[in-house]
Chain A
């Protein structure tokens, strides 16, 4: 196998039903190449979170397969998969669980066995990439929401992931923090899958989008074209904010 041509993420035929019988995914197929930034759009209840939790093996037991950089997501590769797939959860208070920013960013790499100066260098690099280096010794609950979200991104960057998965990255951010985060995400040289309801944000950051609706990929294409397709948007309960014109 040639590692260079390997897709960052390859999902094929993924179906999943929760133990209570509720089926969330009905055969999801898509592929994300290395370095792409892709938005995953879809109404509430479309199965977006369920899909995300499959990407690093937290949920499994359905049919189909997920491969990260060619590596199948299964028990045997779990530790490596969790290093490769960096998930930034929606609420930074869930993501930041250590007493200080520095320790939180260090958590992932330390769990992978990094120590001492190497660990510290990794932490500093990750915090610099999100512009939070001077907040290392702060407890997370003394940061603003936007700062916490940026630290949450750093905690995942510190693991040097193959793919960054962001769950609603722009939620609860004021316009300035929203733009700062966009600048940071654009400056990163990693593959990004961004789960969001924020369609202008998707258009701004992701050239390509997937629409997940009722547990299947209903559309896959250029973000600008998908957002301009009224028919598609209506069918899948996607709505642009008032006055927003994606063609401009």
Chain B
């Protein structure tokens, strides 16, 4: 599917992972994340196993390691606070290289970092092997409320249109000698944002009119039906099942 430009998170390739129906991949990713989150943080080896499992998936999907690492950087701002935990948490402390750190803080930081990274890595793999459009079909198939799926799909369709409108407004402002410098100019920017909102709202009305004119009556018609065979489901669910075994071992050992 899809000629020309695809989303930059997506990596075009033909692999068994790419070929899986989107809803099976969504379900597998979600289940995997749930299993990872419910693993006890003390079972450090278990997280290593999870990373290996994801490595196998990445290998099957022909997603290069460097690509995966680069995409993982998105996580950095979110885990920044985890780094602070060992310094600020209460309780028993240990000396590491002359710095006093909290033991529970260290465990907390590890917990956030390990689970966060694995979750993000799983999502990056999902996005790299599934096109945006397919993800929406998958969500629709998994019976996510249709209104949410519609909103997401309109966001994708009109994101560029609205960005372009914003760009034209900026050019129009700058052509008349305006440059945003400091607080004094925020008023102008706020007015632009307001104008953009009204324009988008009016476009929404016109789009709705066009939809109604073509027989829309509140429900999006099903155009592409995604189906998965039992084999495809079991293939996709192999990841969370393997992870579940690791998790159970983590609790028992």
Which A residues have a C-beta under 8 Å from some C-beta of B?
Answer: 53, 56, 58, 79, 82-83, 85-87, 89, 91, 93-95, 97-100, 103, 106-108, 110-112, 115, 119, 135, 137-142, 155-156, 159
Contacts and interface: CB of A to CB of B under 8 A. Distances in A.
Contact of A111 (B161, B203, B214): B214
A115 B223 CA distance: 7
17 contacts: A56-B213, A86-B213, A89-B209, A89-B210, A94-B210, A97-B211, A99-B153, A99-B156, A99-B157, A100-B1, A103-B224, A111-B217, A111-B221, A119-B223, A138-B3, A139-B2, A141-B161
B207 A99 contact: no
Nearest to B153: A99
B217 to A, nearest CB: 7
Contacts of A155: 214
A111 B3 CA distance: 25
B154 interface: yes
Given A86-B213, A142-B4, 13 more contacts: A58-B209, A58-B212, A79-B215, A85-B213, A93-B161, A94-B209, A107-B216, A110-B221, A111-B221, A115-B222, A138-B3, A139-B157, A156-B214
A103 B4 contact: no
Interface string B158-171: 10110000000000
| Chain A interface, DSSP helix/strand/loop, else mixed | helix
Given A58-B209, A139-B157, A100 B2 contact: yes
A156 B212 CA distance: 12
Interface string B7-21: 000000000000000
B221 A107 contact: yes
A54 B223 CA distance: 29
A148 to B, nearest CB: 11
Interface residues of B, number: 31
Given A58-B209, A79-B215, A94-B206, A107 B223 contact: yes
Nearest to B205: A94
Nearest to B136: A99
A111 B222 CA distance: 8
Contacts of B132: 99
List the 7 closest A-B pairs by CB distance, nearest first: A110-B221, A111-B215, A108-B214, A94-B206, A111-B221, A106-B223, A141-B160
Nearest to A143: B4
Nearest to B3: A137
B133 interface: yes
B4 A110 contact: no
Contacts of A97: 154, 157-158, 207, 210-211
Residue in B2, B161, B210 whose Cβ sees the most chain A Cβ within 10 Å? B210
B5 interface: yes
B207 A58 contact: no
A139 to B, nearest CB: 7
Contact of A107 (B1, B3, B158, B214): B214
